[in-house]
Amino acid sequence: MAEGRLVIGNKRYSSWSLRGWLAVHLAGLDVEEVVIPLAGGGGTDAIKSATPAGLVPYLEHRGARIWESLAICEYCAEITPRLWPQDRATRAHARSIAAEMHAGFRNLRMAMPMNLGRSFPGQRRTPEALADIARVEAIWAEALGAHGGPFLMGAEFGAVDAMYAPVVARFITWQPELSTTTQRYMAAVRAHPLVARWYAEAAAEPKEWLLDRYENPA
Amino acid sequence: MNTALALDHLGVAARDLAPICAAYERLGFTLSPIAQQSGRRRPDLPVEKYGSGNRCAFLKHGYIELIAILDPTLYDNTLNAFLARYAGIHILALAMLDEDANLTRLRQAGLDIPGVAYLERPVEAGGPIARFARLPFPDPPEGRVQLIRHLTPELVWQDRWMDHANRAEVLETAILCAENPAETATRLSRLAGLPVEPDPAGGFLLRLPGAARAAGPKAPALETRVRVLTPEALASVLPGLVPPASPCMAGMVVRTADGAAAARRILAGIPTREAPEGIMVPPEYAAGAALIFA
């Protein structure tokens, strides 16, 4: 018997949903998964009627209602603390860069939307997106250098990796110029069983869910 | 070997470290962690913590140092004097492999050098200590001009910090500018123990012959250069550049693995200029240094 439900957008496009979904699965919550196809450019009526903020992901679990990806990560970490590093300073580092992801990189997100089924190498390299990419690369290089990889805080895939997993997906799709360090991290994230499962389930979504604006970007 | 062998590094100085690091990260460089420096002001004084600190872009051959003041209450390592002139490149370091032989040569040439100056810094907070032996030219007007030998090269040139999205590999040329280039070139020639020759653009050229591992633990023997140009010549080598002072360290050429193809894509949106040797990032976007990707 499920203890709640997780409302997400379809897996091919919904980058924020991927974050919440990863956190929920990393924490092992037993929740029903409700997938609502995105319409692009704002929440659909179905999403608006199903979630308090009109956005996905949205989690209901044992009487708690949680929205916003970072809040979902924090909630999941209350149940499974190893989603954040055990060491205080390392945990502070992880939280800082997770929060930076949550609050920022808008230009990257706007220019290079997530589409797990397509590849658009070399496109949409706007100056603003390139500046965001440079910052993401710096964040990853610092974390990987400090904690030894293969994930940002070391050996375990945690909440901070969940926060950056959709960035990995964007980089795989849009293929900007990236350092080898970044590419190694991307390979580690892509190969993680949960990320691989999300990709597989995205590939199995009905064709009717495809959106022209994401499939044929200008 | 009692001469300089290669271009080791250039130091780009600013008052604050974070903005210049962000600028270089935007250019596609991966930077080493922040490290606060310490050393002896004179060979006879004890080691003390300095107020200066750096992050570096380590290349297969040489590196770019980004240096700033981390703690203004401590000895500033002469950065304030540099920054009073302009923000940009103030350190030119040439690699040597034998500090004692070079010290002897410099003293025989009449230079008043008190001894080998040692500098040290942790490679990262709490990490192992990297050490350097230096022979600075006494108070040159160009900034800090010195010979250097890395006593712990494997600690600083770490693979994890040498992977750059812009595919930068070699710090190939340092470009200086002076109203009287002969004076600056003479100083460099004396420090390096090598002759200078006329630079075809106008000014002088110091060729550093290269030696395996002189500018990095895996660096091949490779010729690198220091050009000392007149202001007129500078404008032909670094298009549109107005030198901030005379003499000054105006720019650098960084050789990439792919003929600057990746760099050109990363630099989209930055008002770059085409230079004879490659694509030039103007000083406003590289912390006061003109930076050519070749």
> pLDDT per residue over A152-161, tens digit each?
999 999 999 9
Q: What mean pLDDT do residues B146-150 have?
A: 97
B179, pLDDT greater than 90: yes
pLDDT band with cut points at 50, 70 and 90 for residue A46: confident
Which H or E run contains B35? strand B35-39
Q: What is the pLDDT of residue A49?
A: 81
> pLDDT per residue over A166-207, tens digit each?
999 999 999 999 999 999 999 999 999 999 999 999 999 999
Q: What is the pLDDT of residue B108?
A: 94
| Buried b or exposed e, range A58-86, using 16+ CB within 10 angstroms | bbbbeeeebbbbbebbbbbbeeeeebbbe
Q: How far apart are CA B21 and CA B172, in angstroms?
A: 21
Partnered with residue B61 across adjacent β-strands are B170
Provide the chain B residues 39-68 that lie in CB contact (below 8 A) with chain A: none
Q: How far apart are CA A117 and CA A215, in angstroms?
A: 9
Q: What is the pLDDT of residue A42?
A: 59
**Ranges A48-62, A73-87, A130-144, B229-243: which has the least confidence:** A48-62
B262 touches chain A (CB under 8 A): yes
Q: What mean pLDDT do residues B170-188 have?
A: 98
- Which residues in B43-167 belong to E strands, given as ranges? 48-58, 63-69, 88-95, 117-122, 129-136, 144-150
| Residue A139 Cα distances to A68, A98, B208, angstroms | 22, 10, 36
A40, pLDDT greater than 80: no
Is the distance from CB of B60 to CB of B85 less than 8 angstroms?
A: no
Cα end-to-end distance, chain A, whole Å: 45
* Cβ distance of B30 and A141 shorter than 8 Å: yes
| Buried b or exposed e, range B7-35, using 16+ CB within 10 angstroms | bbbbbbbbeebeebbebbbbbbbbbbbbb
B257 touches chain A (CB under 8 A): no
One-letter amino acid of B209: P
Q: What is the pLDDT of residue A156?
A: 96
In 10 A of CB B71, how many CB atoms?
13
Give the CA radius of gyration of chain B: 17
- Placement of tokens 């060979």 in the chain: B43
B271 touches chain A (CB under 8 A): no
B265 touches chain A (CB under 8 A): yes
Q: How far apart are CA B276 and CA B240, in angstroms?
A: 12
Q: Considering only CB atoms, which chain B residues are within 8 Å of A146? A: 33, 124
B264 by Cβ neighbours in 10 Å (0-12 / 13-18 / 19+) ranks as middle
Q: What is the pLDDT of residue B126?
A: 79
Which tokens hold the place of B189? 């020639």
Residues contacting residue B182 through CB under 8 Å, at least 6 positions apart: B204
One-letter amino acid of A94: A
A132 touches chain B (CB under 8 A): no
The mean of the pLDDT values for chain B is 95
* Cβ distance of A130 and B262 shorter than 8 Å: no
Select the residue from B17, B20, B26 to test the A interface by mutation, using most A Cβ atoms within 10 A. B26
Is the distance from CB of B33 to CB of A142 less than 8 angstroms?
A: yes
pLDDT band with cut points at 50, 70 and 90 for residue B119: confident
Q: How far apart are CA B153 and CA B158, in angstroms?
A: 9
Residues contacting residue B75 through CB under 8 Å, at least 6 positions apart: B41, B48, B50, B51
B293 touches chain A (CB under 8 A): no
In 10 A of CB B51, how many CB atoms?
18
Closest C-alpha to B13, from B119, B87, B93 = B87
Cα end-to-end distance, chain B, whole Å: 30
φ/ψ region of A194 (left if φ > 0, alpha if ψ in -120 to 50, else beta) reads: alpha
Q: Considering only CB atoms, which chain B residues are within 8 Å of A122? A: 265
In this prediction the ipTM stands at 0.70
Q: What is the pLDDT of residue A217?
A: 85
Q: Considering only CB atoms, which chain B residues are within 8 Å of A176? A: 265
* Cβ distance of B163 and A145 shorter than 8 Å: no
Provide the chain B residues 106-165 that lie in CB contact (below 8 A) with chain A: 124, 160-161, 163-165
Nearest to B25 among A126, A135, A145 (CB): A135
Q: What is the largest CA-CA distance in chain A?
A: 49
* Cβ distance of B28 and A134 shorter than 8 Å: yes
pLDDT band with cut points at 50, 70 and 90 for residue B195: very high
pLDDT band with cut points at 50, 70 and 90 for residue B12: very high
Closest C-alpha to A42, from A216, A213, A218 = A213
Select the residue from A133, A140, A179 to test the B interface by mutation, using most B Cβ atoms within 10 A. A179
Give the CA radius of gyration of chain A: 17
* Cβ distance of A179 and B164 shorter than 8 Å: yes
Closest C-alpha to B175, from B51, B269, B26, B286 = B286
Q: What is the pLDDT of residue A43?
A: 67
pTM exceeds 0.90: no
| Residue B146 Cα distances to A75, B102, B192, B221, angstroms | 56, 11, 9, 20
Q: How far apart are CA A28 and CA A31, in angstroms?
A: 9
